[in-house]
Amino acid sequence: MSADTWELPEELRQIQDTVARFMAAEVKPAEDRAPHDAYALPGDVLAGLQAKARAIGLWCVRSPQEHGGAGLSTLGQAVVAEEAAKCRMGAYVPACGAFGADPPNAIWLGTPEQVRKYGVPGVEQGRKIYFAISEASGGADPARSIRSRAVRKGDRYVLNGSKMWITGAEGADWGIVFARTGEQGDRGGITAFIVNGQPKGMTLKAIPVIRSYAPYEITFKDVEVPVEDRLGEEGQGFAICEKWLVEGRIPYAAGTIGIAQAALQIAIDWARERETFKSKLADKQAIQWMVADSEMELRAARLLTWQAAWIAESGRGDLKVASSIAKVVATETAGRVVDRAVQILGGMGVSQELPLERWYRELRIKRIGEGPSEVHRMVLARQLLGTR
């Protein structure tokens, strides 16, 4: 948003419109042929969509232009994330993968060799790369919970431990793994490593969850990581991790708003057609208020998300707090709005004829992943109360 208007800049309105049209004309018809819970399109279908998306500049929108991405501003990323989420698999696979998957932004903090070896091919291929922080000992407070350990032996580190709930680990080209090189319970004792492929000693086990797209438990047993694959210095891991999480929460929030807005539209269309007790649902105050509350809450969530994006770009404000607020408000709003849409649709709301039941399940994770709501409230409360 520019300083003197509440409108999106013209360039972003055009991108918003382009993505919305691409979703309707290209992504939706392709996804309609896939099973209800699919989280990937057939390879040839996806390749066709990706070629079209690349041709119009919609490729890895969060990655820098000089490395092959679209290099959009944080606000631009939020705008694209909102529209790209408006498909059945959109909660976890925006635009069904048509726009590629950005490598974690932390890779751009790496050495020129790491950027060349991992970052640039990551953008080129646009495949999911995993980011492994959480462990069985707790994901909400990783600085204190991480128990995986990396010990330097000459020109390599030897990694031991395990990670839980890691999305996209299977078949990934590489991932970023956080392990302890210093004292237990010390924020400064964590170091980030790039783990290339699936080296000897690394094993994966799928963890079935509420969504069909299972995350993985990864076990590392004496896995060797060359020193040149350490990302940043020893002890800088937590700062690298926060960069990814804090900036990522803005498009994360925007995506949930997109899903909820699509769910609300389904509910509105249904309420205008469906009759009970001799009148349309749209004529009943109980339904009108659900629709009105949903729209008001979504507008508020969007503005908070866009404000966080503006702080990310301008540096004028506390980005950590703003992105926590956006994440909590957007994910909780989206959960309520989809719940109301399910209610308005009745039995159809929970049937697999429509995307609502899938969105209802998958949005539930959003209040836990990338930091549970309670932790974000704690971040804000600490700032307000001046406590630690």
Ligand X SMILES: Cc1cc2nc3c(=O)[nH]c(=O)nc-3n(C[C@H](O)[C@H](O)[C@H](O)COP(=O)(O)OP(=O)(O)OC[C@H]3O[C@@H](n4cnc5c(N)ncnc54)[C@H](O)[C@@H]3O)c2cc1C
Residues lying near ligand X in the complex (CB under 6 A) are found at: 130-134, 138-140, 165-167, 209, 215, 365, 368-369, 371-372, 374-375, 378
Tokens of 28: 């939706």
Shorter beta-carbon distance to ligand X: residue 133 or 312? 133
DSSP 265: H
Shorter beta-carbon distance to ligand X: residue 90 or 371? 371
Shorter beta-carbon distance to ligand X: residue 130 or 360? 130
CB neighbour class for 28 (10 Å; exposed up to 12, middle 13-18, buried from 19) = middle
Which residues partner with 276 through β-bridges? 279
Shorter beta-carbon distance to ligand X: residue 128 or 340? 128
Tokens of 197: 């492929």
Shorter beta-carbon distance to ligand X: residue 34 or 380? 380
List CB contacts of 220: < 8 A, sequence separation 6 or more: 148, 159, 160, 161, 162, 163, 177, 201, 202
Q: How far is the CB of 378 from ligand X (least distance, A)?
A: 5
CA distance 136 to 368: 15
CA distance 260 to 305: 14
Given the residues 83, 135, 362, 370, the one annotated as active site: 370
CA distance 189 to 83: 39
370 is catalytic: yes
The C-alpha torsion from 320 through 369 and 218 to 168, rounded to 10°, is -100
Q: How far is the CB of 324 from ligand X (least distance, A)?
A: 12
SS3 174: strand
List CB contacts of 334: < 8 A, sequence separation 6 or more: 256, 257, 259, 260, 301, 363, 366
How many other C-beta atoms can be found within 10 angstroms of the C-beta atom of residue 358?
21
DSSP 239: H
Tokens of 84: 């790209």
Shorter beta-carbon distance to ligand X: residue 258 or 371? 371
Task: State which residue has the least CB distance to ligand X.
Answer: 139
Q: How far is the CB of 246 from ligand X (least distance, A)?
A: 14
Q: How far is the CB of 139 from ligand X (least distance, A)?
A: 3
Shorter beta-carbon distance to ligand X: residue 130 or 310? 130
Q: Are 145 and 135 in contact (CB under 8 A)?
A: yes
Q: Are 258 and 298 in contact (CB under 8 A)?
A: no
Q: How far is the CB of 142 from ligand X (least distance, A)?
A: 7
Active-site residue numbers?
370
